[in-house]
A and B are shown apart, each in its own frame.
Chain A
Amino acid sequence: MRLHLSPEDEAFRDEMRTFFTTQVPQSIRDAVAAHRELTKEQFVEAQRVLNAAELAVPHWPVEWGGRDWTPLQRHIWREEMQLAAVPEPLAFNASMIGPVIATFGSQEQKERFLPATANLDIWWCQGFSEPDAGSDLASLRTTAVRDGDDWVVNGQKTWTTLGQHADWIFCLVRTDPTADKRQRGISLLLFPMDSPGVTLRPIELLDGGFEVNEVFFEDVRVPSENLVGEENHGWDYAKFLLGNERVGIARIGSTKRMLTDAKEHARGITVNGAPLSEDPYLRARIAEIENELLALELTALRVVANSAGGKPHPASSVLKLRGSELQQAATELLVDIAGPLSVASFAGEDSDVPEWAQAATPSYLNYRKVSIYGGSNEVQRTIIAGSILGL
């Protein structure tokens, strides 16, 4: 048992902090900190800065740009990135399809896709959920039928995040409707979003933003070499991918940054002649969230310390569950500090309502998503009850 970082890890942290706070354009970091919607160009620029420094895909195999870091170093990398308000490498590329292709793809697919995926030359989107297949993903109905050397895809996906920017989609399709278990008849296909027969419809969210989309497929022809791994084994790859999706999902650094902002904003608001930051109830509320966040960060450190080379630590399911709750608690806190200003969501630059207060409620509403995506919190409770408590 040891309290402090080793000198090597301490130096590593300093290196990360220095890079993120000096090499990623300030305008992009400001936009993240202010909860502004990033443009496609900002995402791409940030990821290319990281990739040029070999910091975009450190968890990939070394051959394809990985860094062979310890789990603790990966944790530090991610937390420092969030603390510095650096946009993380696009999850669909870096955490999802990249590792799947690196693990299950053909040599040709690796060479064709991995360098472009790391550099965000290809922007990927995720074709998983369907209107009738949410948490119950295995009930998906989009089909792919063989026709000569092609697959012909028909059906619909939904919740396709940032699909409006995407060049390619990785898509779960049913290739054997007669399989005895519905998980067995699923395959994973890759195809361009500008393929004939692909239609995208944006879905407006509560915050007024367009983050997610519906995607429709009508006789979309996909060459057979775009199948990942083996036919009808797509469910295995999906599980592998979703396991990676939960890595780093606690977003502790990001919540810390929101709490720091909350304290700062509370100093600038006067209530009954005194700064709101001196209100004992508000202070207690912040102190309680901070204590929960400390417990979560320490849990993350316990998990990464015990994940090297083996199965994930059982407590890892706690990270998604409580991590999402604390992100939501922080956004709620910001709305309450904004108080009456929180209503003026789209008052704009000419308004005296500060930008953070304008953004507070849309962020709070948008962040309802974090306890739903990546395996809803109810799915996490099912995992804890089933695989940890044996219930």
Chain B
Amino acid sequence: MEFSYDDEQNGLREAVSGLLARAYADSEQRRAVVATDPGFDEKTWSRLAEMGVLGLPFAESDGGMGAGPVEVSVVAEEIGRVLAPEPFVEAVVLAGGLVSDLGTDAQRAEVLGALAEGSLVPAFAHAETGTRWEPSARSVTATADGGSWRLTGVKEPVPHGARADVLVVSAQLSDHGASGATRLFLVQGDAEGLTRTAHRNHDGTRSAKVEFAGTPAAPLGEGTGDQTAAIEKALARARVAYGHEALGAMETALTTTAEYLRTRKQFGVTLNKFQALTFRAADMYVSLELARSTVMWATLVVDADGDVVAAADRVRLQTSRASRHIGKEAIQLHGGIGVTAEYSVGHYTSRLTAIDHLLGDGDWALARLAATVDQHETVDPLG
């Protein structure tokens, strides 16, 4: 068991952190970027592509860099650290990950190469109102139409769904004797019968209502078998990557708060003279470091192709608790300024709250872990 990064990984962190520090030197720059569509900076996205970041986890034969989950985790942390709104986890880890896992040679070449180059943004259209955090689709259906397929129904909210050049859509097969199976389809952004309505989220990112009305779609991969397990695994990897994004955000929320306590004066003294406040900051540090340990371990589980789904549940539970604790305390220890949009720290809480709910929150993960708690004597990370 070893938790240190090698020189190349440290180099990657430095490069990404340098690029993002220039793009988001202060929170005003981020506010300006998220004020206009598509809610992230296309130039920063291109620079990330030039650095090779957008193709990191994909095979070199698909146009990627052939790197692993540890490298992905380094980037996600730096994204979170400055609250960069670029959809790294959404487009690269999740949508790109699904294409990488399941796509045909031609689909991988078409989507992943362009994603790595920065010329194509994919999004995963999966959530449906009325259900939550399931790996399967219910209301969007896929119908065979001769040799092709058509989708009908609504996906919402779809992160970056309006900006996306191509959508990876989950749908329930409605006939062909495979009824009930969930499969993935690629839908082009300009497909007929596709209506997308964008809106702004509380954290500055964009989501969309995506409506399909007999929209032509290409099955992702071969065959007509159920792809639910593959979706569950891709979601688990994204949960772990979001864990790293949350770590970066929690760390900044804590350091910003500590800095504020050192400088803000009330009653004639700086706030760090009040033990009632410094003890709470100490507890934030405890939450952060415990979450960091679990998230780093889960990335190693992904790397070793272990039980990724269970490890991701553990990440969701630990980071959900930690990010709520740190996010709420960061605002409270700042006072009123923490609730304003003009100051940075509240935006961290907003983003942490979004991450907590995108792919499953802490209680959701706890219910899953509780269901299996009697099937082992102890949890042993050393295997």
User: Which A residues are within 8 Å of any B CB, using their own CB?
Assistant: 1-5, 13, 72, 76, 83, 256, 259-260, 263, 267, 277-278, 280, 283-284, 286-288, 290-299, 301-302, 305-306, 315, 318, 321-322, 378, 380-382, 384-386, 388-391
Contacts and interface: CB of A to CB of B under 8 A. Distances in A.
Interface string B344-383: 0000000000000000000000110111011001110111
Given A3-B306, A286-B373, A298-B297, A391 B290 contact: no
Interface in B303-324: 303-304, 306, 314, 317-318
Contacts of B314: 291, 294
Contacts of B373: 263, 283, 286-287, 290
B262 A294 contact: no
Contacts of B377: 260, 263
B258 A3 contact: no
Interface residues of B, number: 51
Given A3-B1, A378-B279, A391-B278, A321 B286 contact: yes
A321 B370 CA distance: 25
Nearest to A277: B374
B258 to A, nearest CB: 5
Contacts of A381: 278-279, 282-283
Contacts of A301: 1, 3, 293, 381-382
23 contacts: A3-B306, A284-B367, A287-B369, A288-B317, A292-B290, A293-B379, A295-B290, A298-B296, A301-B381, A305-B1, A318-B290, A378-B279, A380-B282, A381-B279, A382-B279, A384-B282, A384-B285, A385-B272, A388-B282, A388-B285, A391-B258, A391-B261, A391-B281
Contacts of B294: 291, 294-295, 298
A235 to B, nearest CB: 24
A305 B366 contact: no
Residue among B2, B283, B303, B306 with most chain A CB within 10 A: B2
Given A284-B366, A291-B314, A306 B4 contact: yes
Majority-rule SS of B interface residues:
helix
B381 A294 contact: yes
Given A278-B374, A318-B289, A389-B254, 20 more contacts: A3-B297, A5-B1, A5-B383, A256-B379, A260-B378, A283-B374, A286-B370, A292-B290, A292-B318, A293-B379, A294-B294, A294-B379, A296-B290, A298-B294, A299-B290, A306-B4, A382-B282, A389-B285, A390-B258, A390-B262
A389 B318 contact: no
B343 interface: no
Nearest to B299: A1
B278 A389 contact: yes
Interface of B: 1-6, 9, 70, 254, 258, 261-262, 272, 275, 278-279, 281-283, 285-286, 289-294, 296-297, 299-301, 303-304, 306, 314, 317-318, 366-367, 369-371, 373-374, 377-379, 381-383
B1 A4 contact: yes
Nearest to B254: A389
User: 10 nearest interchain CB pairs?
Assistant: A298-B293, A385-B278, A3-B300, A384-B282, A283-B370, A295-B290, A381-B282, A287-B369, A391-B272, A2-B2
Contacts of B254: 389
B12 to A, nearest CB: 13
Contacts of B258: 389-391
Majority-rule SS of A interface residues:
helix
A288 B290 CA distance: 13
Contacts of A267: 374
A280 B381 contact: no
A209 B213 CA distance: 75
Given A302-B293, A315-B289, A385 B378 contact: no
B264 to A, nearest CB: 12
A283 B279 contact: no
Residue among A277, A284, A391 with most chain B CB within 10 A: A391
Nearest to A389: B258
Nearest to B69: A1
A389 B366 contact: no
Contact of B374 (A263, A296, A297): A263
Given A1-B296, A295-B293, A298-B293, A288 B366 contact: yes
Contacts of B278: 381-382, 385-386, 389, 391
B254 to A, nearest CB: 8
A287 B262 contact: no
Contact of A291 (B279, B283, B369, B383): B369
Contacts of B1: 2-5, 72, 301, 305
A299 B303 contact: no
A307 B60 CA distance: 38
Residue among B254, B282, B303 with most chain A CB within 10 A: B282
Contacts of B301: 3
A283 B376 CA distance: 12
B286 A305 contact: no
Contact of A5 (B281, B317, B382): B382
A307 to B, nearest CB: 12
A4 to B, nearest CB: 6
